[in-house]
């Protein structure tokens, strides 16, 4: 009897060992060699009375492995790419389309984080006329400077349109998750992708027409609007933010209020109060940011309206503000480096890519590209520069540049109180 | 799931005791040269078949030593350090307990490595695992290694003997600079075996092999506000760049294998031959709570060897051939995160064999000993080895290969000093030559400026494709610890110098001093 038990025990151990070891062996046995793929990308172009396309390209980007393919689209609207290395790709289409009247539309479409492997060779991309935002992020400096100094972060908003835009009442928010991560939150209430989630929300001051931004003008919002190159701050900092138009003043006596106008604090953890943070520090790895405006006739009050609050499952003490996607004028997602393109926390409809610096505390930022055609920088009739805005920050931004406020001498608003 | 180190400590203690106590004294004791001869003639001990020891009818012995060694120089593979100092305790013994032959060894080493490069995850970056993390800075490492092995064989039951070999290896390695690494490697192996005597001169044997392999590697930062670039390697320089410094990697796998042996012995001839195969499949996962499958290595190793000894009154000749072939087929997983509450975790979307690594060794060796009693008065060893590596990353197509020829020659002289106490001075000199025949690194991807492509792999290829020579000497003084004792105490000093033909890997000197005793 005892012998039987020992035999059974030994057999059980042997069986368990075999079962645990077999998993790896069976995986190894049925692995097939990687081989280049043939990929067909069909474009569905949604332009009324479409008559033709111009300079329309399809690109496949595997950012983490640094693989890029690009091909022009012909009138069949189908592109065939061969020799594609299997992997996880962002598939993008961007260019021009024109209708029967000859009116040109800037069109784009994309699929992010698309696994391409054997059996996934046919893709369809929906291409639409681009929603062009009048106000865009022009420059973002988030990584801080040598000496682990992070108070010199700033964000620059540019009027990329032909009309005067008023900053009054425009919202600025940093989004959650704070850092780029593949592990996205499980929200307590499923919002079906209607929102992005603001961790802290600010609003530009003004009653409606106090802070106009003319075409070609930009406004800088600094974490702390001082000359950071001064000895008392950080001589290694690349920027003097003392002439910023706005600052995120958190009433920290060690870093007192500067002449720049104060942004109005709107939301943090379900309240209007700022909380105990001594400064408005966004991730030096790169946060995700939006500017948005509440359409006329609608109200947006995430303090009192509980339907505009949500929290991660089990984290009811850490409330975020729900920002409807259709409110968003511009969104830029920043991350550690190219390997985080598949860790997006901003929907592709707002930003199909991410931008990055690739290091922290290196004194470098990201700057939006100028629109260039045939080697010439495009300008409006009034001379205002036009910046590229394809809703893909990977291609729209130049990465790793020394930050400059009002780069390219974009206009400083007349109401800047610091001069 | 953390390794159970408390249990491991007790196992090691047991092992140490076993190997230390397992031998017992020879009647006249064993000089270092006599111990060399004794070990050399126990051919079944060199195979994977523990049961064969019974047919060797071996004499018992034990030895124990403690040594200090220090290396300094640039002639080493890039991921090893420019300096290393090591303290090592080693003990080995063989005896017969009742009807069972027992052999065991145990070692413990503590190594301080300085200025090691390109490794931020593995205890041994050269163990054949292509999925690891590297960083841009040199760093010191502190390594501790424990090794235990035992072989037990029943005395022949008629014409059959049974045996079992067990091995237990643990390495703890800690990187001393951010991003820091705490890496823990464990291998537990068993080889049951049987051998059958075919008459008086011939024995055939067979063995099975199983081993469980595990390594856990946790990367973290001591200085949390400094973020470092690191690179998640997946083969021949192809890597994903990361920023920060936190990652846990879990390696776990199993080895299955088998071997066949044949031995022939007469009064003057002794032959042993072996063919063996094993398959080592190892999984690589990132994280523990919701692990992400990263890769899988599938290593098939084939080995064959023949050793022939011819002994007469004065001389012992030994010639041997060793062949090995290793093929590592590497699968990479592509996963996406499921962020839903019910199924939170990583889903494997697809997997591919992405790389193949092949290597082969072939060596010929010969030794001649001039015997005097149970020891030799002089001994000559010569060997020639051909080593080949042929590594291929399929897409983007990247290759690294090398062919090298090694030749070594050594001469030992055992000076028998006058007087009592069996005093001996065993002195040896050795020279070696390495001739690179071909090799190189070719990257076919789109990131030639990536650190791992532009720096790490070219350095590795440069080392594998350079010529070098070495010269060394070793002196051992031994004597009985007291008159009438059978215990020989000895002290050994050695010095080796390596010279590479490139300025990058130019020289290496290695000094060691060891104290020991043979029972």
Find the CATH number of the domain harbouring B404.
Answer: 2.40.160
- Do the chains contact at A337 and B446, CB–CB below 8 Å? no
| Cα–Cα dist B108/B352, whole Å | 40
* Beta-sheet strand order (sheet of B238-244): B132-135, B228-235, B238-244
* For range A233-262, the mean pLDDT: 94
Q: How far is A147 from chain B (nearest CA, A)?
A: 10
Question: Does the pLDDT at position B16 exceed 90?
Answer: no
Using a CB–CB cutoff of 8 Å, tell me whether A61 touches chain B.
no
CA neighbor of B457 nearest in space, from B469, B481, B441, B480: B441
Containing H/E element for B457? helix B457-464
Nearest by CB to A21, which of B226, B238, B254? B254
| CA angle at A78 for the pair B336 and A83, rounded to the nearest 5° | 55
- Tokens representing B300? 């098939």
* Chain A interface, best mutation among B131, B252, B395, by max A CB count within 10 A: B395
- Tokens representing A114? 């698309």
Using a CB–CB cutoff of 8 Å, tell me whether A78 touches chain B.
no
Tell me the backbone φ, ψ of residue A163, rounded to 5 degrees: -110, 160
Nearest by CB to A86, which of B238, B341, B352? B352
- Do the chains contact at A336 and B351, CB–CB below 8 Å? no
**CB distance B234 to B354 below 8 Å:** yes
| pLDDT at residue number B11 | 47
DSSP one-letter string for A366-410:
EEEPBPEETTEE-B-TT--B-B--SS-HHHHEEEEEPP-TTGGGP
| pLDDT at residue number B2 | 43
* Chain A interface, best mutation among B136, B212, B243, by max A CB count within 10 A: B243
Question: Does the pLDDT at position A12 exceed 80?
Answer: no
Q: What is the pLDDT of residues A283-337, one digit of tens each?
A: 999 999 999 999 999 999 999 999 999 999 889 999 999 999 999 999 999 998 8
Place of tokens 């209020």: A257
Q: What is the pLDDT of residues A40-68, one digit of tens each?
A: 999 999 888 888 998 899 999 998 888 99
* For range A12-23, the mean pLDDT: 61
| pLDDT at residue number A16 | 60
Question: Does the pLDDT at position A3 exceed 70?
Answer: no
- Tokens representing A72? 């022009």
| pLDDT at residue number A13 | 59
| pLDDT at residue number B457 | 97
Using a CB–CB cutoff of 8 Å, tell me whether B223 touches chain A.
no
CA neighbor of B92 nearest in space, from B55, B45, B132: B45
- Do the chains contact at A115 and B336, CB–CB below 8 Å? yes
CA neighbor of B348 nearest in space, from A306, A190, A193, A88: A88
- Do the chains contact at A34 and B352, CB–CB below 8 Å? yes
- In chain A, % of residues over pLDDT 90: 63
The confidence band for B59, taking pLDDT boundaries of 50, 70 and 90, is confident
A18: DSSP letter: H
Bridge partner residues of B400 (DSSP): B391, B441
B180: DSSP letter: E
CA neighbor of B243 nearest in space, from A143, A140, A60: A143
A255: DSSP letter: B
Using a CB–CB cutoff of 8 Å, tell me whether B336 touches chain A.
yes
* For range B370-386, the mean pLDDT: 96
Using a CB–CB cutoff of 8 Å, tell me whether B254 touches chain A.
yes
Strand-pair category, B202-220 with B180-198: antiparallel
**CB distance B26 to B61 below 8 Å:** yes
| Cα–Cα dist B201/A408, whole Å | 92
Q: How far is B254 from chain A (nearest CA, A)?
A: 6
- In chain B, % of residues over pLDDT 90: 83
Structural domain span for residue B114: 5-518
* For range A190-211, the mean pLDDT: 94
CA neighbor of B112 nearest in space, from B144, B138, B73, B136: B144
CA neighbor of A350 nearest in space, from A371, A381, A329: A329
* For range B373-388, the mean pLDDT: 96
Q: What is the pLDDT of residues A207-245, one digit of tens each?
A: 999 999 999 999 999 999 999 999 999 999 999 999 999
What's the number of domains chain B is made of?
A: 1
Domains present along chain A, CATH in parentheses: 37-129 (2.60.40.1120), 135-409 (no CATH)
- In chain B, % of residues over pLDDT 70: 95
| Cα–Cα dist B373/B353, whole Å | 58
Residues of A in contact with B355 (CB under 8 A): none
CA distances from B254 to B145, B209, B279 (A): 21, 10, 8
| Cα–Cα dist A206/A417, whole Å | 14
* For range A260-267, the mean pLDDT: 97
CA neighbor of B132 nearest in space, from B321, B340, B297: B297
At residue A5, the 3 state secondary structure works out as helix
Residues of B in contact with A66 (CB under 8 A): 445-447, 450
Question: Does the pLDDT at position B10 exceed 80?
Answer: no
- Do the chains contact at B243 and A118, CB–CB below 8 Å? no
| CA angle at B332 for the pair B253 and A114, rounded to the nearest 5° | 140
Q: What is the pLDDT of residues B431-460, one digit of tens each?
A: 999 999 999 999 999 999 999 999 999 999
| CA angle at B334 for the pair B333 and B339, rounded to the nearest 5° | 125
Nearest CA in chain B to A85: B395
- Tokens representing A269? 């953890």
- Do the chains contact at B350 and A117, CB–CB below 8 Å? yes
- Tokens representing B76? 């080493």
Query: Is the Cα dihedral A188, A190, A191, A193 positive or negative?
Result: positive
Place of tokens 């080592």: B280
Using a CB–CB cutoff of 8 Å, tell me whether B225 touches chain A.
yes
- Do the chains contact at B243 and A336, CB–CB below 8 Å? yes
Using a CB–CB cutoff of 8 Å, tell me whether A285 touches chain B.
yes
Residue with more model confidence, B154 or B519: B154
Bridge partner residues of B375 (DSSP): B372
| CA angle at A124 for the pair A122 and A128, rounded to the nearest 5° | 160
| pLDDT at residue number B22 | 47
- Do the chains contact at A115 and B329, CB–CB below 8 Å? no
Question: Does the pLDDT at position A98 exceed 50?
Answer: yes
Residues 6+ apart with CB under 8 A from A365: A139, A140, A141, A142, A143, A357, A401, A402, A403
Using a CB–CB cutoff of 8 Å, tell me whether B348 touches chain A.
no
State yes or no: cis peptide before A257, omega within 30 of 0: no
Strand-pair category, A122-129 with A37-46: parallel
Nearest CA in chain A to B350: A117
Q: Which of A109-113, A393-397, B224-228, B506-510 has the highest mean pLDDT?
A: B506-510
Residues of B in contact with A358 (CB under 8 A): 229, 241, 243
DSSP one-letter string for B261-315:
EEEEE-SSEEEEEEEEEEEEEEEEEE-SSS-EEEEEEEEEEEEEEEEEEEE-SSE
| pLDDT at residue number A23 | 67
| Cα–Cα dist A100/A48, whole Å | 9
Q: How far is B5 from chain A (nearest CA, A)?
A: 21
CB atoms within 10 A of CB B392: 16
* Chain B interface, best mutation among A16, A183, A281, by max B CB count within 10 A: A183
Q: How far is B444 from chain A (nearest CA, A)?
A: 11
| Cα–Cα dist B255/B209, whole Å | 7
Nearest by CB to A338, which of B212, B241, B341? B241
Using a CB–CB cutoff of 8 Å, tell me whether A339 touches chain B.
yes
At residue A11, the 3 state secondary structure works out as helix
Question: Does the pLDDT at position B24 exceed 80?
Answer: no
Nearest by CB to B296, which of A27, A65, A185? A27
- Do the chains contact at B353 and A284, CB–CB below 8 Å? no
| Cα–Cα dist B36/B92, whole Å | 13
| pLDDT at residue number A129 | 77
| Lowest mean pLDDT across A96-110, A115-129, B236-250 | A96-110
CB atoms within 10 A of CB A49: 9
Q: Please identify among residues 133-192 of chain B the ones whose CB lies closer than 8 Å to any CB of chain A.
A: none
| pLDDT at residue number A15 | 64
Residues 6+ apart with CB under 8 A from B274: B47, B48, B49, B259, B260, B261, B262, B303, B304, B305
Q: What is the pLDDT of residues B383-436, one digit of tens each?
A: 999 999 999 999 999 999 999 999 999 999 999 998 889 999 999 999 999 999
CA distances from B152 to B265, B271, B274, B395 (A): 21, 21, 19, 48
Q: How far is B229 from chain A (nearest CA, A)?
A: 7
| Cα–Cα dist B290/B336, whole Å | 12
- Tokens representing A83? 């020799």
Regarding pTM above 0.90, the answer is no
Mean pLDDT of chain B: 92
* For range B204-220, the mean pLDDT: 96
DSSP one-letter string for A300-336:
--TTT-GGGEEEBTT-TTSEEEEEEGGGEEEEEEEES
| Cα–Cα dist B85/B239, whole Å | 32
Containing H/E element for A17? helix A2-29
Question: Does the pLDDT at position B300 exceed 70?
Answer: yes
């Amino acid at each position: 009897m005892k012998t039987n038990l020992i035999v059974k025990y030994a057999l059980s151990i042997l069986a368990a060992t075999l079962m645990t070891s077999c998993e790896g062996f069976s995986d190894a046995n049925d692995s097939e060699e990687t081989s280049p793929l043939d990929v067909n990308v069909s474009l569905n172009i949604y332009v009324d009375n479409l008559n033709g396309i111009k300079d329309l390209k399809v690109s496949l980007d595997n950012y983490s492995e640094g693989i890029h393919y690009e091909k022009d689209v012909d009138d069949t609207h189908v592109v065939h790419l061969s020799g594609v290395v299997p992997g996880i790709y962002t598939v993008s289409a961007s260019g021009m389309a024109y209708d029967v009247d000859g009116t040109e539309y800037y069109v784009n479409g994309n699929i992010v984080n698309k696994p391409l492997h054997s059996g996934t060779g046919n893709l369809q991309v929906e291409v639409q006329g681009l929603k062009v935002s009048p106000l865009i992020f022009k420059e973002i400096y988030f990584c801080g400077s040598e000496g682990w100094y992070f108070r010199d972060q700033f964000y620059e908003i540019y009027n990329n349109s032909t009309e005067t835009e008023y900053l009054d009442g425009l919202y600025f928010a940093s989004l959650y998750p704070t850092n780029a991560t593949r592990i996205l939150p499980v929200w307590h209430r499923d919002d079906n992708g209607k929102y992005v989630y603001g961790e802290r929300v600010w609003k530009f001051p003004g009653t409606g027409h106090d802070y106009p931004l003319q075409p070609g003008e930009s406004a800088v919002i600094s974490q702390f609007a001082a000359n950071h190159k001064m000895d008392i701050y950080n001589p290694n900092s690349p920027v003097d933010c003392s002439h910023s138009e706005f600052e995120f003043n958190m009433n920290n006596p060690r870093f007192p209020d500067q002449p720049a106008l104060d942004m109005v604090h709107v939301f943090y953890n379900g309240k209007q109060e700022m909380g105990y943070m001594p400064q408005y520090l966004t991730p030096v790895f790169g946060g995700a940011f939006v500017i948005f405006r509440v359409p006329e006739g609608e109200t947006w009050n995430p303090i009192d309206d509980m339907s505009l609050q949500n929290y991660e499952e089990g984290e009811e003490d850490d409330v975020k503000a729900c920002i409807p996607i259709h409110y968003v004028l511009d969104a830029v997602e920043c991350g550690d480096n190219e390997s985080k393109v598949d860790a997006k926390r901003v929907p592709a409809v707002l930003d199909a890519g991410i931008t990055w610096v690739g290091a922290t505390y290196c004194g470098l930022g990201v700057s939006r590209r100028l629109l260039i055609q045939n080697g010439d920088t495009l300008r409006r009739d009034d001379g205002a520069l036009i910046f590229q805005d394809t809703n893909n920050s990977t291609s729209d931004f130049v990465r790793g540049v020394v930050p400059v406020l009002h780069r390219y001498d974009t206009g400083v608003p007349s109401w800047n109180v610091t001069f | 799931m953390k390794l159970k180190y408390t249990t491991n400590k007790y196992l090691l203690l047991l092992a140490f005791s076993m190997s230390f106590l397992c031998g017992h004294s020879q009647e006249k004791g064993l000089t270092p040269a006599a111990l060399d001869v004794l070990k050399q003639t126990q051919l079944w001990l060199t195979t994977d078949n523990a049961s064969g020891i019974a047919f060797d009818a071996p004499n018992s012995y034990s030895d124990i030593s403690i040594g200090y060694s220090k290396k300094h120089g640039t002639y080493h593979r890039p991921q090893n350090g420019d300096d290393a100092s090591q303290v090592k305790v080693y003990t080995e013994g063989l005896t017969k307990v009742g009807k069972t032959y027992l052999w065991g060894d145990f070692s413990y080493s503590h190594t301080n490595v300085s200025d090691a490069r390109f490794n931020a995850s593995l205890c041994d970056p050269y163990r054949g695992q292509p999925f690891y993390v590297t960083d841009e800075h040199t760093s010191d490492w502190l390594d501790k290694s424990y090794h235990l092995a035992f072989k037990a064989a029943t005395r022949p039951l008629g014409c059959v003997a049974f045996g079992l070999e067990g091995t237990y290896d643990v390495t703890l390695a800690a990187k001393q600079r951010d991003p820091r690494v705490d890496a823990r490697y464990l291998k537990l192996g068993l080889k049951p075996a049987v051998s059958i005597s075919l008459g008086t001169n011939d024995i055939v044997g067979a063995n099975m092999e199983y081993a469980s392999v595990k390594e856990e590697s946790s990367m973290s930062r001591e200085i949390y506000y400094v973020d470092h670039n690191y690179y998640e390697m997946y083969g021949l320089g192809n890597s994903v760049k990361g920023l920060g410094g936190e990652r846990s990697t879990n390696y776990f796998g199993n080895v299955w294998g088998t071997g066949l042996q044949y031995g022939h012995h007469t009064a003057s001839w002794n032959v042993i031959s072996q063919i063996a195969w094993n398959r080592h499949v190892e999984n690589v996962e990132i994280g523990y709570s919701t692990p992400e499958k990263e890769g899988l290595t599938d290593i098939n190793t084939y080995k064959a060897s023949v050793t022939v000894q011819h002994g007469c009154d004065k001389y012992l000749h030994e010639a041997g051939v060793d062949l090995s072939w290793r093929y590592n087929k590497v699968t990479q997983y592509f996963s996406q995160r499921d962020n839903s509450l019910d199924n939170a975790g990583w889903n494997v979307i697809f997997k591919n064999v992405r790389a193949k690594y092949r290597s082969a060794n072939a060596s010929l060796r010969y030794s001649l000993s001039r015997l005097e009693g149970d020891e030799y008065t002089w001994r000559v060893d010569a060997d020639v080895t051909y080593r080949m590596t042929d590594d291929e990353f399929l897409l983007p197509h990247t290759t690294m290969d090398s062919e090298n020829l090694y030749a070594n020659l050594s001469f030992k002289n055992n000076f028998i000093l006058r007087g009592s106490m069996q005093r001996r001075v065993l002195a040896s000199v050795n020279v070696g030559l390495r001739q690179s025949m071909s090799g190189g690194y070719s990257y076919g991807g789109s990131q030639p400026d990536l650190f791992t492509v532009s720096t790490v792999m070219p350095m590795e290829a440069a080392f594998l494709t350079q010529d070098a020579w070495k010269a060394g000497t070793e002196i051992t003084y031994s004597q009985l610890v007291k008159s009438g004792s059978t215990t020989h105490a000895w002290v050994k000093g050695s010095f080796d110098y390596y010279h590479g033909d490139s300025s990058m890997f130019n020289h290496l000197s290695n000094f060691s001093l060891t104290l020991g005793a043979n029972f």
